[in-house]
A and B are shown apart, each in its own frame.
Chain A
């Protein structure tokens, strides 16, 4: 089964700093890739997804992610973070021949005003 690794457990940034959160997966076949965000006290929301096509995916709120197949990676980026980006970010993988989703451990982002 596929698995997902998020290497950063807690990231602390100042406003306007650039963000990159790492995500690596292990699965040899075709995958669908997702980033979810969970704001404090709220439920999971889809940030962006990759199914096929352009490996650079743009999502909501200025986030983007790049799928690098050779590195089995799907890192999340934002050029300039805001205080309101403080949240937990989860990378997730769904193999094309499965219907279940596997989540990474999550990365807590704290943005200082």
Chain B
């Protein structure tokens, strides 16, 4: 399956600041997905990122809070803006990879203090 690298793996940030998470895939993919996994909860889709167009956001998520870039077919970034403690979560990027379905990165564990 595709190999996904996410950076940083974890970070502790001050409230009011922003963090940009990078996702690198070892193959070209059309769509990349960003998920959030809050403590003790399941995964929630934040947005779908296509190369060359604006990301499509799910209900409850907005571009001002979670701007996404998709400059090419192997890379994407998710920014968590103006952070508050409620944003503490694991953020994961994911791609569809043939018969494997969805492959996930190892995630970015964000703690906002």
Contacts and interface: CB of A to CB of B under 8 A. Distances in A.
A17 interface: no
Contacts of B106: 42-43
A43 B104 contact: yes
Contacts of A44: 43, 92, 104
B102 interface: yes
Interface residues of A, number: 20
Contact of A49 (B45, B101, B104): B101
Given A43-B106, A101-B94, A105-B41, A34 B33 contact: no
A97 B45 CA distance: 17
Contact of B42 (A32, A34, A103): A103
A31 to B, nearest CB: 12
Interface of B: 1, 31, 33, 41-45, 48, 58, 92, 94, 96, 99-107
A90 B31 CA distance: 22
B109 to A, nearest CB: 10
B40 to A, nearest CB: 9
A24 interface: no
Interface of A: 32, 34, 36, 42-44, 46, 49, 51, 90, 92, 94, 99-106
A43 B5 CA distance: 12
A99 B48 contact: yes
Nearest to A34: B101
Contacts of A42: 106
Given A34-B102, A43-B106, A90 B33 contact: no
Contacts of B104: 36, 43-44
B42 A104 contact: yes
A26 B81 CA distance: 34
Contact of B101 (A46, A90, A105, A106): A46
A90 B100 contact: no
A101 B42 contact: no
12 contacts: A43-B92, A43-B104, A43-B105, A43-B107, A44-B104, A46-B1, A46-B102, A46-B103, A49-B99, A49-B100, A101-B101, A106-B41
